[in-house]
Amino acid sequence: MMSLIPVPEDLYLFHEGNLFQSYRMLGAHVAEVDGISGVRFTVWAPHAREVRVVGDFNCWDGTEHPMQRISTWGVWSVFVPEVGEGEFYKYEIVTQTGTLVYKADPYAYWSELKPGTASRVYSLEGYEWADQAWQEQKQQRSIYHSPMNIYEVHMGTWKKKPDGSYYTYRELADELVAYVKDMGYTHIELLPLAEHPYDRSWGYQATGYYSVTSRFGAPKDFMYFVDRCHQEGIGVIMDWVPGHFVKDEHGLREFDGKPLYEYDDPVMAEKPEWGTLTFDFTKPEVVSFLISNALFWMDVYHIDGLRVDAVASLLYLNFGKPKEQWIKNANGGDENLEAIEFLKKLNHTVFGYYPDALMMAEDSSAWPLVTAPVHSGGLGFNYKWNMGWMNDMLKYMAIDPYFRRGSHNLLTFSFMYTYSENYVLPLSHDEVVHGKKSLLNKMPGDYWQKFAGLRVLLGYMMGHPGKKLLFMGGEFGQYDEWKDLEDLDWEMLGYDSHRSLKQYSRDLNHLYLQEPALWELDHQPEGFTWIDPHDQKQSITTFMRKSNNPDDFLIIVNNFTPVYHPKYRIGVPFAGEYVERFNSDAGVYGGSGKLNPGKLKTEKVSWHYQPFSLHIAVPPLSTVIFKPISISKPIAKRGKERGKADA
């Protein structure tokens, strides 16, 4: 049982913006007073004249359980005996004008199933975790020098039952986890699971930040899901939304009759592009609420990291606003100074508690040093989505292959900045919805070329420095764009082309896991070398990826046209024998079967500024990867002066 009344030290820290586990003080907690079990309810509502608890236990009559103000800054609390787990409740708030408003608990651990809007009493204690091996492994490895290939999932539409109902957290712990492990992904990224009223917001407009959505089960069922992921060696990342919240009446908007979680100034508060409200980062209690929430998912649910949504909307005051609503900060600029400080404090705090956490910024801006430490002037994230790479690649792949030569820079420009941040390369849900078409259907050409084009896109992504992310369905060629109320078109796997693409994605993922050259030096320039970025005429790129072992490297050739090159010469750094390690054009993947069998021996012909070269077959619309099996390196000769010194 928890302590009964919030202690002064915690109240002080909460009002200072420094209570980083404020969920232990606020909300509904099973407790005991004088041997009587019940629930202590605590809520922040500084503008309220009165606050009461209503629920099934008092027939929703607030006069029975008024709360006491225990803080001059507006924290209210009451112990209600003989109330237990599962009870529905809300806060009945009497505003300064005497109006009654009924609010869900901002710190509730569980919520009534939609369309209901009440909170539910729930104890998070008692789950026995079995992920100790995973936790120890995380502490021993460097995320920067390890493989990270993320499968992005919307739990409500990955799969549905024949009657249209959802799979539960526990059912997904079997089906989804087994699928992800078999496919060779290292992490699952979940679209937001904080409670939200509207399915089509995908969770990005929340009402219950501490309440894992009841759509798929109870909180301990979600613990079981995460636990199963970890037992199978799969990390779990969750999308997290500190930039804005929904306006629904039972949520955070004007929580105690006045703006509280949002800015007092309506121009500052409004996010007109999304119809939502911005958190007020000048209020210390809001900072305590949000940073505590980030830690909550790690403390309670063992989440491995957060993908922080819409960071650009936090960084800039006028993000998404019409020009007539533009405002300036105290320095005359467009930056949201307090939100920037919040992000720095968030990351500094999270890494203080969890040094091996993943904090990923979904940031579409050109803000510098997003993944630099706070003490070095950065925002303090350890990863950033590479939106520039994604936009350039999808723009390039949409061009008719015969005209791609004029846009070759879209393939190569990302290498100018790829080491400026620690990047994740995302092909996410945002790119396959709202009329943007699925990845497969973005590819130009006939049916065969569409599949070949998607294979080379995925192959190029796997070879490009940076961690990887793919939204569900992309791995088997979902033809329709994401239908956010229906499940994926799994029946497509009854067709050879889709089944072959799934096999390709699986083999490509497992190749990635097996080859340290594809991830060990992702964030260091030493891990990448161009062989030829300039074959614009034929839309071919050739480069090397390297691991820490100087003898371990891969040569990756990407052909972005449907033209076959049976005798294409590439430069290589060392004499010896090479083999084709992987070919997206293999017949088993639905390709034309133009392979490079056997051992390939180098020629003493300088090419691409390399001392040796190979003649290879480059299939149409393909990624082909070569690996040395025996090489000879020249022995460095000591100069005369060095020799004298040694003697």
State the Cα–Cα distance between residues 212 and 113, nearest whole angstrom.
Answer: 11
Quickly state the pLDDT bin for 634 (edges 50, 70, 90).
confident
Residue-averaged pLDDT of the chain: 95
DSSP assigned state of 276: E
At 586, list the tokens. Answer: 């293999």
- Please indicate, yes or no, whether the overall pTM of this predicted structure exceeds 0.85: yes
Say if 8-120 and 525-632 have the same CATH topology: yes
Print burial letters for 318-346: b (CB count within 10 Å at least 16), e (below 16).
ebebeeeeeeeeeeeeeebebbbebbbbb
Q: 145-385, superfamily in CATH?
A: Glycosidases (3.20.20.80)
Task: Show me where the domains of the chain are located.
Answer: 8-120, 145-385, 525-632
pLDDT of residue 641: 37
pLDDT of residue 607: 95
pLDDT of residue 635: 64
State the Cα–Cα distance between residues 214 and 192, nearest whole angstrom.
Answer: 13
What one-letter code names the amino acid at 477?
G
pLDDT surpasses 90 at 639 = no
CA-closest candidate to residue 455, choices 621, 594, 626, 595: 621
pLDDT of residue 644: 30
CA-closest candidate to residue 529, choices 619, 521, 142, 513: 521
The residue-averaged pLDDT of 143-147 equals: 97
- Is the CB of residue 594 less than 8 Å from the CB of residue 623? no
pLDDT in tens, 72-88: 899 999 999 999 999 99
- Is the CB of residue 441 less than 8 Å from the CB of residue 435? no
Question: From residue 565, how far is each of 302, 307, 406, 610, 615 by CA, in Å?
Answer: 50, 42, 20, 21, 10
Considering the domain 525-632 in this protein, what is its CATH number?
2.60.40.1180
pLDDT surpasses 60 at 12 = yes
pLDDT surpasses 80 at 343 = yes
The residue-averaged pLDDT of 266-294 equals: 96
- Is the CB of residue 531 less than 8 Å from the CB of residue 538? no
pLDDT in tens, 558-567: 999 999 999 9
DSSP assigned state of 615: E
Considering the domain 8-120 in this protein, what is its CATH number?
2.60.40.10
CA dihedral 201, 204, 210, 212 (to 10 degrees): 50
Question: From residue 88, how far is each of 52, 106, 118, 119, 246 by CA, in Å?
Answer: 14, 14, 6, 6, 22
pLDDT in tens, 582-607: 999 999 999 999 999 999 999 999 99
Determine how many CB atoms are found less than 10 A away from the CB of residue 597.
Answer: 9
- Is the CB of residue 169 less than 8 Å from the CB of residue 176? no
Active site residues: 309, 362
pLDDT surpasses 50 at 647 = no
3-state secondary structure of 236: strand
pLDDT in tens, 377-433: 999 999 999 999 999 999 999 999 999 999 999 999 999 999 999 999 999 999 999
